[in-house]
Amino acid sequence: MMRLGALVILYYPSVEQLARLAPLHDACDALVVVDNTPQPDSRAAAAAAHGGYTLLHHGNRGGIAGAYNAGLARLLDTVDAVALFDQDSIVPPAYFPTMRALATRFTGRPFIAGPRILDENDGQFLPVFESSGISVRHLRLDATPEPVRCAFLISSGSVLSREAYAALGAFNEALFIDHVDTEYCFRALARNVPVYLVPSLVLRHRIGAKTWVRIGPFRIATMNHSWTRRYYSARNAMLIATQYGARFPVALLPNLLTLWQIVGIVLGERDKLAKLKGILYGVLDGLACRFGPFDAARPHPGMRAAAPTREYRG
């Protein structure tokens, strides 16, 4: 029988987020929770002891990529595929039966599969694209139960088979955070590991702290991320472009997101100068192949050291 496990990454979790873990444990074959908060969270430890699942404290080593790798190393000894979740993902009742059936169908084959993502900020689905690596096309979806080949998925809600992890290797800890899942999807494209979307399955997920600015007839979304997040996003987009761009021209597209971030920052965010500097230094470090965690103790000239933050995404 196909065994489907789950991996949840915590980072300063709320009481409500911890309460969702026990039902998740009951729904899957094995649950590993990685506490990536710098210091161990006593509430997370108490919840794990009560819920009967495995808790690992990873302390943000290697960012979210390091947390994924630590959890997968533990889980893939005992299960055939693993569902990845952020702490704020709300998993629907149909998720595990649907994904277990899909994983059973693909038994022994490498694959990544994920649900449609409904962003709770605005009630809109994230766009879904297919790509040959040279061109990209927006997919229009209906509620077909059949999986649809696509090019990119966010990590939260995705199921990764043991064979896919063996073919693709560990998540890139040099990226630390931001575009970790984007790079993994490009790796899958390069190594012919199929990526599927399940249109009939919807996962509610909050993508950042999104707000909107109206400029004339246009309504522009802005994410309000810290300058360190802007740094990582710009730097890692540049890495993807330099690593995959020669083979797959669409790998240049994440840099368009960097440009769009600049528009949002200028029009509707605070701390504009610090965030724009973060993007600038991210681009420069990406071109210089300087990766890993940003060293707040030795910030770039002109940048103040980052204050402690609870903002965290992959």
Same-domain status, 71 and 198: yes
Task: Report strand pairing: 148-149 vs 195-205.
Answer: antiparallel
Report yes or no on 222 lying in a domain: yes
Number of domains the chain is built from: 2
C-alpha 217/C-alpha 178 separation (Å) is 31
Same-domain status, 16 and 147: yes
Report yes or no on 24 lying in a domain: yes
Same-domain status, 172 and 23: yes
Report yes or no on 313 lying in a domain: no
Tokens of 189: 């494209």
Q: For the purposes of burial, counting CB atoms within 10 Å of the CB of 12, is it exposed (0-12), middle (13-18) or buried (19 or more)?
A: middle
Where would I find the beta strands (DSSP E) of the chain? 4-10, 30-35, 54-57, 81-86, 112-119, 124-125, 129-131, 136-138, 148-149, 159-161, 195-205, 211-215, 218-222
Report yes or no on 105 lying in a domain: yes
Torsion angles phi and psi, residue 55, rounded to 5: -120, 125
Distances (CA, A) of 20 to 13, 42, 59, 85, 271: 11, 17, 21, 12, 35
Same-domain status, 153 and 92: yes
Report yes or no on 295 lying in a domain: no
Residues 6+ away with beta carbon under 8 Å from 98 = 198, 200, 201
Domain that holds residue 281: 212-287
| Maximum CA extent, the chain | 57
Of 259, 136, 120, nearest to 186 (Cα)?
136
Report yes or no on 292 lying in a domain: no
3-state secondary structure 111-130: CEEEEEEEECCCCEECCCEE
Same-domain status, 103 and 70: yes
Same-domain status, 194 and 106: yes
Torsion angles phi and psi, residue 31, rounded to 5: -125, 130
Same-domain status, 95 and 238: no
Boundary-marking domain end, from 205, 226, 254: 205
Read off the pLDDT of residues 152-202 as tens digits, 9 standing for 90 and up. Answer: 999 999 999 999 999 999 999 999 999 999 999 999 999 999 999 999 999
Same-domain status, 183 and 236: no
Residues 6+ away with beta carbon under 8 Å from 35 = 10, 13, 41, 44, 45, 55, 56, 57, 58
Helix axes 272-287, 254-268, angle to 10 degrees: 160
Same-domain status, 199 and 122: yes
Report yes or no on 49 lying in a domain: yes
Same-domain status, 64 and 184: yes
Boundary-marking domain end, from 190, 205, 220: 205
Tokens of 249: 């021209």
Q: What is the pLDDT along the chain (314 residues), one digit of tens a residue?
A: 789 999 999 999 999 999 999 999 999 999 999 999 999 999 999 999 999 999 999 999 999 999 999 999 999 999 999 999 999 889 999 999 999 999 999 999 999 999 999 988 778 899 999 999 999 999 988 767 789 999 999 999 999 999 999 999 999 999 999 999 999 999 999 999 999 999 999 999 877 677 777 777 777 777 788 899 999 999 999 999 999 999 999 999 999 989 988 988 998 888 999 999 999 999 999 999 888 887 654 456 556 554 444 454 44
CATH number of the domain residue 135 falls in: 3.90.550.10
Same-domain status, 141 and 237: no
Report yes or no on 311 lying in a domain: no
Boundary-marking domain end, from 186, 205, 224: 205
Same-domain status, 197 and 71: yes
